[in-house]
Structure 1
Amino acid sequence: MSGELVLGIDIGTGSTKGVLARPDGTVVATAVREHPDAMVMPRPDHAEMDAEAVWWGDVVAVCRELVTPDRAVAAVCVSGLGPCLLLTDADGAPVRPAILYGIDGRATAEIAEQTERFGADAVLERCGTALTTQAVGPKAAWVRRHEPDVWSRAERWFSAGSFAAFRLCGEYVLDHHTASQSVPLYDLGESGWAQDWYAEVMGHLPAPRLAWAGEVVGGVTPSASAETGLAAGTPVCAGTVDAWAEAYGAGVRATGDLMLMYGSTMFFVQELAGPAPHPQLWNTRGVRPGTTSLAAGMSTSGSLTAWVRDLTGGTPFETLVAEAAAVPPGSDGLLLLPYFAGERTPIFDTDARGVVAGLTLRHRRGHLYRAAYEGIAFGIRQILELLDTEADPVRRLVAVGGGTRGGLWTQVVSDVTGRHQDVPAQTVGASYGDALLAAQAVGLVAAEADWASVATTVEPQAAHAEVYDELYAAYLALYPATRDVAHLLAGLQQRGAGAAVGGRP
């Protein structure tokens, strides 16, 4: 089997990426399917995606591009954005668009109700994580309440990776990590479904069989073979959430290792020695059997830089980065609060809104773009300080994702946080971690194999510490100072959206 290849695919918020790799980690070929407009926000705080067209359609397209008669694929693993809630019929046909992860904040009432029903302390102790917009249970309750006809037609539920696995091999499974993010359905201590809470929240929907991310759960079916070009019987792994697959591929394995993912949203995954429930962080199962991780997520990062680009008439990112680099640290007194889609960690406020403070007629687009980098970096610093309060503080920071390629963004983050960042040599992303999981699953490499190597290390510049410390204090004060006004404006936006769709509540 030494000459065979493994296929990793990741379904992301803005694109789907695939990689074919050899057992030694050498990349043979890659494929990308951009879907920048696939995330639909039909109302404020609602974030959805067409799973049939985007998730499965992209998997098929990537397979068709990468799988050829001269490339023998030994195994395939698919990860994806999550945790999501996709409801389907028994055959896996979606009955409504998928409701996305924590950036979808529709279920605030259901979060409050389930927190009261099960008890905040009990949820934290049993699930390792408080009920937030990241949780699946409240979103299921939202559909059950607001779309009863849809709920009655649903017979299965999926996240992105498990949906791809089902369509590839016909097995109804969910990996332990994604399940552990599906609060309050999973018991972290027992590493299994919380049977009583699951039955109450999910009703008639059966629980998927649990598996670990790198576990082979079935073989490619003849029908999936005809669609994708993969040989029938090709082993299919369970897969997991994209950030965890990327952390795994980037070599985040030791206690205290933390991955910082520069994507459409900013995401953090830290390896722990054992469970550590925290009300403002997500304590979950990891990729490998028995492992535990701590995670956090911001609602905007790359999506915010794209907003600045679009706002300035589609200015190329290279131009914006060059202009921002010419602006001094601190953006000449411009401070940005990056809550343009609400915020997840640490405030968990879907009605938070973006703020640009200190604008003058002297400021130009380069100032705004640099202020966006700095605002995101201040949010990163706030979360890193929160992670450091745990029993296993952050010891090594690994930076991954598209945002690491320009250089300025990672430098700003190191300057603001005062921390070093290792940037891996391989920047394919989560699909690379998927390929490694596939290789391990079928014995092409050892279970302990690690393909990661460090290409560069970003060092903080001490000369910028004073101005960033001063601005960071202002950043921490800005949200409490503007929260009430932001909530008022969010209410006006929501009422306006309701009128736009016929006044529905």
Structure 2
Amino acid sequence: MDYVLGIDIGTGSVKAVAVDTKCNSFGAFQQHYAFTSPQPGYHEQNPEEIWNAFKKSMDGLIAEIGNVPKAISLSSAMHSLIPVDENGNALAPMITWADNRSSEIAKGLRSTETGLSIYKATGTPLHAMSPLCKIIWLKENDPDLFSQTHKFISIKEYIWYKLFKEFKIDYSIASCTGLFNIDLLDWHTDSLNITGIDSKMLSEPVQTNYTKFLESGIAVVIGASDGCMANLGSGGIKPGIAVMTIGTSGAVRIASDKPLPNEKAMTFSYILDKDTFICGGPINNGGIALQWWIKNNIKHDLGETDYEQLFEEIAGIRAGSNGLLFLPYLTGDRAPIWDSESCGVFFGVKLEHGKAHFSRAVLEGICYAMYDVLDALQENAEPIKQINISGGIVKSDIWMQIMADITGKDLVITQSEDASAVGAALLAMKALGLIHDYSDLVNKTPKMVKPNPNNGEVYLRNFRIFKTLYSDLKNTMHEFYKMNL
């Protein structure tokens, strides 16, 4: 059987997925790994452990299938940073997207004209997740490591160097570093100046369809970032279609033929290929907020039935939770508020509110936060008519109905799992001429959730209060945060 292997290098695991030439996935192999947090705010991983997981996933799935793929294509988590020597050896642990040690640097940049100009040129939000801020932090706090570094690279570049002994970075991963000019397709001078490095300390940027061959003759396509690949794998690369993913965190993304900057919301504009940008924003508090609520207020040892019971209980609560609102900022948040000092809030609590009201308010709060990102994206994008949805939310009909009602959009379930790996396979198929365009991925009989306009009126009123509530409490949140450090 002819197939392509899409491999997604994630934060918690590498997952390889086999996709046949009719764009159907039929096999998967996953290898997990851990992270360390040696100090508060640190989030690090061993790049060699990830390389070994990559090899095990690739070799394991090929062995299961019994014949080699036509090609291998790579998807990767964004914003990682590894200082390496001239032979590609890591000089320190990899700093992941979740590392927050450079948050003060990001906060300072957001208040300057230089920072805003860098955001507009690079399409990358000014946040601790970005390699831009991580490199500045290393320069200021670990000058010995900074001076010893030959190149600063991502985990995909690390793996690519292991495969081919060359330092290359695809335009997609480059476009989420804060160091790459997405119009000129080259390293951005102002970013290099404030980090104190030159372009020689970064890999050579290449198109996302850049291809090399292993000794076995298998083509390897360098691919793109996991967010861009998820849109491709979910069928969200046409105007008017957004992709929402809710797992532990969440993200909203749309495809565009040009960057869509929004200085206030600081939405991102990352490159999928030479014709397509994927624009959007991530939130911190998706399923993690729901998990927190159930674990601490319903049942400590979580199981699937506990989620199902919660969904059943809230079905009897009307839209709007009888005037109860929840700001879900339990871990601060990213888009569109970019406020690591924000916190969770229940508002409007009255005697008539029971546990089921609070449970529904938590779900609604997560959906409001996602809609807040979508609302920012719609300011300068084509009108959104449909949302392709994936992640843990698809396991709950009522959660999807709440999202449809709050956004006022049709929800379509396309690729419920492995969207990034499937997207990687699709990109390779197009690059190698196995398919002519991405329309082959379209689900002809998708499951669809229609919004209830009556509920939508309630949610629209509550969303305005949701926005105002954060604005009114912002300074108090910051003051309280500093008091409790």
When normalised by structure 1's length, the TM-score is 0.85
1:28-86 superposed Cα distances (whole Å, 9 cap, x missing partner): 21123455xx3555555443333332x32432332233111722122112212212222
1:309-352 superposed Cα distances (whole Å, 9 cap, x missing partner): 44331222342233233221334544221212211111111111
Q: Kindly provide the amino acid, as one letter, of the partner of residue 470 in structure 2.
A: Y
The DSSP-based 3-state class of the residue aligned with 2:434 is coil
Using the TM superposition, give the Cα deviation of residue 431 of structure 1 relative to its aligned residue in structure 2, in angstroms. Answer: 0.7
Instruction: Give the fraction of aligned pairs with identical amino acids, expressed as a percent.
Output: 23
C-alpha distance in 2, partners of 1:115/1:491? 20
C-alpha distance in 1, partners of 2:181/2:275? 13
C-alpha distance in 2, partners of 1:220/1:364? 61
Alpha carbons of structure 1 residues 141 and 300: separation in structure 2 relative to 1, 3 Å: same
C-alpha distance in 1, partners of 2:213/2:272? 21
Q: 1:464 aligns to what?
A: 455
Q: Kindly provide the amino acid, as one letter, of the partner of residue 267 in structure 2.
A: W
The DSSP-based 3-state class of the residue aligned with 1:460 is coil
Q: 1:301 aligns to what?
A: 286
Conserved 8 A contact 1:243-1:261: no
1:186 to 175, 180, 187: 180
The DSSP-based 3-state class of the residue aligned with 1:238 is strand
Conserved 8 A contact 1:128-1:188: yes
Q: 1:32 aligns to what?
A: 30
Q: 1:272 aligns to what?
A: 256
The DSSP-based 3-state class of the residue aligned with 1:350 is coil
C-alpha distance in 1, partners of 2:461/2:189? 50
Q: 1:445 aligns to what?
A: 435
Q: 1:477 aligns to what?
A: 468
Q: Kindly provide the amino acid, as one letter, of the partner of residue 476 in structure 1.
A: K
Q: Is 2:395 the counterpart of 1:405?
A: yes
Q: Is 2:73 the counterpart of 1:83?
A: no
Using the TM superposition, give the Cα deviation of residue 91 of structure 1 relative to its aligned residue in structure 2, in angstroms. Answer: 3.4
Alpha carbons of structure 1 residues 213 and 462: separation in structure 2 relative to 1, 3 Å: same
Conserved 8 A contact 2:85-2:148: yes
C-alpha distance in 1, partners of 2:47/2:127? 23
Q: 1:290 aligns to what?
A: 275
C-alpha distance in 2, partners of 1:172/1:383? 35
C-alpha distance in 1, partners of 2:80/2:123? 19
Q: Is 2:340 the counterpart of 1:350?
A: yes
C-alpha distance in 2, partners of 1:93/1:355? 45
CA RMSD of aligned residues (A): 2.8
Q: 2:10 aligns to what?
A: 12
Alpha carbons of structure 1 residues 116 and 366: separation in structure 2 relative to 1, 3 Å: closer
Alpha carbons of structure 1 residues 446 and 244: separation in structure 2 relative to 1, 3 Å: same
1:161-200 equivalences under 5 Å are 161-183=156-178, 185-195=179-189, 197-198=191-192, 200=194
Conserved 8 A contact 1:377-1:416: yes
Q: 1:499 aligns to what?
A: none
Q: 2:230 aligns to what?
A: 246
Alpha carbons of structure 1 residues 56 and 309: separation in structure 2 relative to 1, 3 Å: farther
Q: 1:105 aligns to what?
A: 100
Which blocks of at least 5 consecutive residues in structure 1 are unaligned?
222-231, 496-505
Q: Is 2:57 the counterpart of 1:62?
A: yes
Alpha carbons of structure 1 residues 334 and 198: separation in structure 2 relative to 1, 3 Å: same
Which blocks of at least 5 consecutive residues in structure 2 are unaligned?
none
When normalised by structure 2's length, the TM-score is 0.88
C-alpha distance in 2, partners of 1:140/1:473? 38
C-alpha distance in 1, partners of 2:13/2:351? 37
C-alpha distance in 2, partners of 1:441/1:78? 13
